[in-house]
Amino acid sequence: MPQDTCILGIDPGLATLGFGAITVQESQRLTVREFGVIRTPAKCPIGDRLCTLYDDLHTLIDEIKPDRVAIEKLFFYRMSNTILVAQARGVILLVLAQVKLPYVEFTPPQVKQAITGYGKADKLEVQEAIAWELSLQTIPKPDDAADALALALTAWYLQ
């Protein structure tokens, strides 16, 4: 008998890490399970911030119990804080390896293409598509959480 599938999307970041979990029911109906952000204070040492991400991700995964995870790939030429995001991604990948969760990675244009049909869609177009697809009354906030939901949806669409 088929089971519901839970997909966790993660938008990496050191200051703000977005997460969004969706459930795909046997009937193929999509529902939002949970979304939000993990924040780390800018004034804390980087090591402490990475430890917060590590601990909070373990807690989140224990609570949500996803079947798989979707993570945004880095786009080096567009990010001014690439090294910090790469460090956060390293923590994410470590946690996923520890709990033996499979993951897929998508670039921002891949997500935009999957969600809107246009790889150069703007952020608002993507957010509106997410809200419509997940039957939400409003666009998910903050943006990092909306991005994470878009990643989870992309993982479902491109499975």
Catalytic residues: 11, 72, 144
Please tell me the distance from the alpha carbon of residue 54 to that of residue 77, in angstroms, as a whole number: 26
Burial class (CB in 10 A: 0-12, 13-18, 19+), 13: buried
Evaluate whether 32 touches 73 at the Cβ level (below 8 Å).
no
3-state helix, strand, coil in the chain (%, to 5): 45, 20, 30
User: Which residues lie closer than 8 Å to 73 by C-beta, 6 or more apart?
Assistant: 105, 106, 107
Structure tokens at 9: 């999307």
Helices then strands, each counted (H, E), the chain: 5, 5
Do the beta carbons of residue 26 and residue 47 sit within 8 Å? no
